[in-house]
Amino acid sequence: MNPDALASALLAVLDAVAEKRRPGEPLGVSADDITFERPRNRDHGDWATNTAMKFAGRVGQNPRELAQELADGLASVDGVASVEVAGPGFINIRLDAAAAGQLAKTIVEAGAEYGRNDAQAGNRVNLEFVSANPVGPLHVAHTRWAALGDAIARLLEASGATVAREYYINDAGAQMDRFGASIVAALNDEEKPEGGYSGSYIDELGRAVLQERPDLLSLPRDEQLTLARDLAYPHQLAEIKASLAAFNVEFDVWFSERDLHAGDPSLIDGAVDRLREQGHVYDADDAVWVRTTDFGDDKDRVIRRGNGVYTYFAADAAYYLDKSDRGWISKIYLLGADHHGYVHRLKALAGAAGEDPEKNIEVLIGQMVSINGARLSKRAGNIIEMDDIVAWVGTDALRYSLERSPADSPLDLDPELLQKRTNDNPVFYVQYAHARTHNVARNAADSDVAREEFHPELLTHETEAALLGALQEFPRIVGYAAEVREPHRVARYLEELAGLYHRWYDRCRVTPKGDGAVEPVHHTRLWLNDATGQVLRNGLSLLGVSAPERM
């Protein structure tokens, strides 16, 4: 019996009690309003609920008295072994072994689908993350957002949402001009321009540009700058894509900023007109403004200067409106630690566009990550490159370690620890638990133990009750992690599950000792072993981490 079935059963009892006290007056409570949690002390049962205290006022009854009535009614439900009332009205529920153990078979039969839910069904989410300027290699901060963004997308999809992973290519503006000027300066053996880029990767790009246009340096300087910028940019973007792919991150949409400026009228021209139609654009001081203070921004924003030049805010507005035009209900932006000022600005933009800033847009700010002992990139000179860290630590260890902490917490990683094959290394601990489930299954096959019999009532050991309880929680963990955009909840859950599995492994045998006979309990425990492996595998997949069968 899972929490959903238990909630439905308790709701039926609650409605019956309420009908006796208030005939003809519906209580207005659904199964979604009834929640359960795992008691800290397993002696108190499998599940606990505060339903009686939560709805006593609505029923018109003392919480503890209502709890006792609910307990009496729930005790007769199939699969419930016992129900007790504790404290001011908590209800502790213990399932019978057969009802609890049935979960093992349910998980094995569901396979990769176990944990998937429909909590986000109908939601169309545009998730923008990384979005680094295409003027250099990705660095360690981009790496954190790549891991978190992809994991959030996987969680949302597992919870029923339609998701587009989108990368906004900042391929227009001053940084691109400095990029081209840096390459030309390197080719002419000159000092880099003020605010320009350096490192051997600039030299590499220069050689690639010359290979395409051997006559580049014979052209007028302004043509050199434009050609160097436009020819080098696709090479650098291709490197960014390759780095992300090697990190197990793929994007559905690569949106070029240049597309916002193209056409007559451009998307930016159209955005200004649309915001004006909403009544939030005004003219003052020879400029065009958006009244973003109406939506909590600290000041109104200039969208077009007096000289007719659009601001970055104009591009932000056009891009946001374009996402809405493409049918994305929810727009999620994952931004770096230096982008706090964008939060109110983007939310105000959503309001000015006629949408709900509290529902249609979400801005997540991530904190910095440092890598102990990491060296600056030889190619870029002043950053720690993503490719270098991935090559040093490995994709699995790096992704898992970046995802197991909240995004808004500064993170300090120890690569030496992440390469160790010990229980101190969280990713090894979880992956080893998964590999152990496969090893147990292989040994079981050698001992003629198979999933040909299933007797859930035999799963009575205390470690089995604890393990089944954790397995039961997985769908709820996935749904909640998707809702709050926190992949670390899945990682921490997997570590807890791995610990429970290791304790069960130490206490309960799937294969008989020595020449002992194979008994029904051995076949049944194989179901539990394989169910645990499936959940570990499903959870690691949501994090974009592999689940090895041997270690």
pLDDT score recorded for residue 4 = 84
Check: CB of residue 52 under 8 Å from CB of residue 66: yes
Nearest to 173 by CA among 35, 310, 375: 310
The whole-angstrom distance between residue 533's C-alpha and the CA centroid of its chain comes to: 21
pLDDT digits (tens, 9 = 90+) for 136-190: 999 999 999 999 999 999 999 999 999 999 999 999 999 999 999 999 999 999 9
Give the three-class secondary structure for 61.
coil
Number of domain units in the chain: 2
Residue ending a domain, choose from 32, 60, 95: 95
- 296 against 348, higher pLDDT: 348
- What is the domain range of residue 442? 421-542
Specify if 117 maps to a domain. no
pLDDT score recorded for residue 376 = 67
* pLDDT tier at 97, thresholds 50, 70, 90: confident
Nearest to 29 by CA among 66, 72, 75, 81: 66
Report residue 147 as tokens: 């891991």
* pLDDT tier at 40, thresholds 50, 70, 90: confident
**Read out DSSP for 191-258?**
PPPTT---SHHHHHHHHHHHHH-TTGGGS-HHHHHHHHHHHHHHHHHHHHHHHHHHTT---SEEEETH
Interaxial angle between packed helices 63-74 and 51-59, expressed in degrees from 0 to 180 and rounded to the nearest 10? 110
Q: How far apart are CA 205 and CA 282, in angstroms?
A: 45
Specify if 286 maps to a domain. no
* pLDDT tier at 341, thresholds 50, 70, 90: confident
Region 18-28 average pLDDT: 90
Q: What is the DSSP letter of 33?
A: G
Residue ending a domain, choose from 46, 77, 95: 95
Region 400-411 average pLDDT: 94
Q: In 10 A of CB 102, how many CB atoms?
A: 20
Percent of the chain at pLDDT exceeding 90? 87
pLDDT score recorded for residue 483 = 97
pLDDT score recorded for residue 542 = 98
Specify if 36 maps to a domain. yes
Describe the strand order of the beta sheet including 287-290 as a list of residue ranges.
281-284, 287-290, 301-304
pLDDT digits (tens, 9 = 90+) for 191-223: 999 999 999 999 999 999 999 999 999 999 999
User: Which H helix or E strand runs over 90?
Assistant: strand 90-95
pLDDT score recorded for residue 243 = 98
pLDDT digits (tens, 9 = 90+) for 500-551: 999 999 999 999 998 899 999 999 999 999 999 999 999 999 999 999 999 9
Specify if 260 maps to a domain. no
Q: What is the mean pLDDT of the chain?
A: 94
Q: What is the CATH number of the domain that holds 18?
A: 3.30.1360.70
Specify if 293 maps to a domain. no
With 0-12 / 13-18 / 19 or more C-beta atoms within 10 angstroms meaning exposed / middle / buried, residue 25 is exposed
pLDDT digits (tens, 9 = 90+) for 228-262: 999 999 999 999 999 999 999 999 999 999 999 99
Give the three-class secondary structure for 137.
coil
Q: How far apart are CA 354 and CA 361, in angstroms?
A: 12
pLDDT score recorded for residue 1 = 73
pLDDT score recorded for residue 22 = 87
Interaxial angle between packed helices 221-246 and 386-393, expressed in degrees from 0 to 180 and rounded to the nearest 10? 20
Q: What is the CATH number of the domain that holds 476?
A: 1.10.730.10
Residue ending a domain, choose from 60, 79, 95: 95
Check: CB of residue 131 under 8 Å from CB of residue 175: no
Specify if 411 maps to a domain. no
Cα torsion through 64, 65, 70, 73, rounded to 10: 140
Specify if 488 maps to a domain. yes
pLDDT score recorded for residue 117 = 95
Q: In 10 A of CB 344, how many CB atoms?
A: 18
pLDDT score recorded for residue 169 = 97
Specify if 318 maps to a domain. no
With 0-12 / 13-18 / 19 or more C-beta atoms within 10 angstroms meaning exposed / middle / buried, residue 68 is middle
pLDDT digits (tens, 9 = 90+) for 444-501: 999 999 999 999 999 999 999 999 999 999 999 999 999 999 999 999 999 999 999 9
